[in-house]
Amino acid sequence: MKKALEIGFVIFYLFNIAHFAYAAVGCTLNDPDRDVKRLFPNSSGYRTDFITIKEIGGQALYQRIEQEIGDKLDSIYEAIDVPYSFYDVLQGKDVIAYIHGVNQKGTYGGMQLIIATDLTGKVTAFYYQKMSSPEAAKFIDEKFTKQFIGLTLNDFMQGNLKISDPSKNSSDDFRATLRGLKKNLILLKELKLRKKSTQ
């Protein structure tokens, strides 16, 4: 009995260590050199900008982002001091696009949702960098992900989405995807574009 309790404590401790380690950072590209070139073959490079809600607008901005999402942000995964990675895609000295990813809780674990946008925030590409689901193949299929190309934050805010759940039994992951993409576009507006406007 004592041994079982000790093992249980160790598992609990390791789970929490992993939980907090995962939560301490935002979503970054697995291989930025490869990923940027794949999404933008004519680009000449990129630069990375790490931004937190805390540094841009503090608690007031945190609460506004919650209002825009229509949901409470997770106090660990989506904390006020989590650094979000924004990739400025370059052509020479000019920024031609942005790439940004977010972590989002799914039914079977964390998802990583990556979007590329033009300078106005219109989606030009979307893919799952990480997706854990029995029906993952249906979500990562381009027949589904390409439906988000051309959408803007306004489409999410106004409910102008005509995209159907590609799965049979994973509606929670579909809703989590929509929440994550909406969050992604809100963070782009409230962090990256806000910072750019003040420079």
Sequential pLDDT tens for the chain (199 residues): 545 444 444 343 334 434 434 444 789 999 999 999 999 999 999 999 999 999 999 999 999 999 999 999 999 889 999 999 999 999 999 999 999 999 999 999 999 999 999 999 999 999 999 999 999 999 999 999 999 999 999 999 998 899 999 999 999 999 999 999 999 999 999 999 988 877 7
Q: Point out which residues pair with 87 in neighbouring strands.
A: 48, 99
75-113 b/e (C-beta count within 10 Å ≥ 16 → b): eebbebebebbbbbbbeeeeeebbbbbbbbbbeeebbbb
Residue 105 within a domain? yes
User: What's the CA gap between 195 and 87, in Å, rounded?
Assistant: 14
How many domains are contained in the chain?
Answer: 1
Residue 176 within a domain? yes
Residue 20 within a domain? no
Residue 131 within a domain? yes
Residue 7 within a domain? no
